[in-house]
Amino acid sequence: MPDGSFPEHLLSLPKAELHLHLEGSIRPAVVSALTARHGIEVGEEEVRRRYSYTGFLGFLEAFKWVTSFLRTPDDYALIVQDLGEQLLAQNVVYAEVTLSVGVMLLRNQRPEKNFEAILRAAEPFESRGLKLFWIFDAVRQFGPDAAQQVVNAARNTASKKIVAFGIGGNELSIPTVAFRSVYDSAASLGLHRLIHAGEIGGPEKIREGVELLGVERIGHGIAAIHDPALMDLLANRRIPLELCPSSNILTGALARQLSQENAAIESHPLPQLLRHGVPITLSTDDPTMFHTDLATEYRHAHRMGLSESELRSLIDYSFAYTFQFGVDGYRNAYQS
């Protein structure tokens, strides 16, 4: 149990967020505005109903539904503007935001045009103290050829604001080794490498990502608790896990890992992993769809039993494991 009340002053400190899906941040009022653009009337209450789902498959259906209204570059600009306001309200000064480029391609969109609009929408936030960088994300179950098309889109875009390539989706669908050449191609462009692993899959999915693909951060990775040697590897190589507690509860991923029907936030393995020496960054994943924000996630971490100094270490880690500057750069920029 936590020792004392939550240290509220931590919420005023500058923070970074590293596991955040743009398409999962769309608030109900913005969804209604999007649908209206396309001649479809969807009220905010209907959006909230869609965002009330059960389990991982329910989440995926809600995600597919809301992204079906992202049809033009201007639609992406609108949701970037809204996300920027959300982040500034939480004292987030830096974020690496994941874009579902694989979904754009599936819907026969031009990612390059969408990204131009995204950059234009993001630019005004720089002068307001928020730096936004981007991760081009493929969908695992679409296969290696589709994933290579995401890398090709990053090559064609040729923007320094794209910092990494990653793969999300169903980690149980296609063997990890099938994506080795895709990751090699991403690395040849100077992109960092990420993967969602150990969310609903076992610890072997995390190890495969590290050893076969050379990934530098793991999305979720809660399955690492089942393999102490893997935790040692992550700690020794300083490979962070991007942990998203509310997401793990609502998708049922944590209950699955703990072999329970339901799981409470207090049973999340974040403290165990952190105290084992595994670097941890705290994030929201799809914040609107998981009914959370970064302040809520820090409160959750306190409920798990983290001390104030451990909470501060999570803030430091969120900067130390960015792809633009480490913790010393953060201190120089924001704490001088």
* Alpha-carbon separation of residue 8 from 176, 231, 274, 326 (angstroms): 42, 31, 21, 25
pLDDT by 10s per residue, the chain, length 336 = 556 899 999 999 999 999 999 999 999 999 999 999 999 999 999 999 999 988 888 888 999 999 999 999 999 999 999 999 999 999 999 999 999 999 999 999 999 999 999 999 999 999 999 999 999 999 999 999 999 999 999 999 999 999 999 999 999 999 999 999 999 999 999 999 999 999 999 999 999 999 999 999 999 999 999 999 999 999 999 999 999 999 999 999 999 999 999 999 999 999 999 999 999 999 999 999 999 999 999 999 999 999 999 999 999 999 999 998 665 565 565 554
**DSSP-assigned beta bridge partners for residue 168:** 139
Tokens of 16: 């970074």
Q: Which DSSP string corresponds to 154-217?
A: HHHH--TTEEEEEEES-TTSS-GGGGHHHHHHHHHTT-EEEEEESSSS-HHHHHHHHHHH--SE
For residues 62 and 60, what is the distance between their CA atoms, to the nearest angstrom? 5
Q: Where are the domains of the chain?
A: 8-334
Q: Which of 23, 96, 171, 199 is catalytic?
A: 199
199 catalytic per annotation: yes
Task: Give the architecture (CATH level 2) of 8-334.
Answer: Alpha-Beta Barrel (3.20)
Confidence (pTM): 0.94
Q: With contact defined as beta carbons under 8 Å apart, do 210 and 231 qualify?
A: no
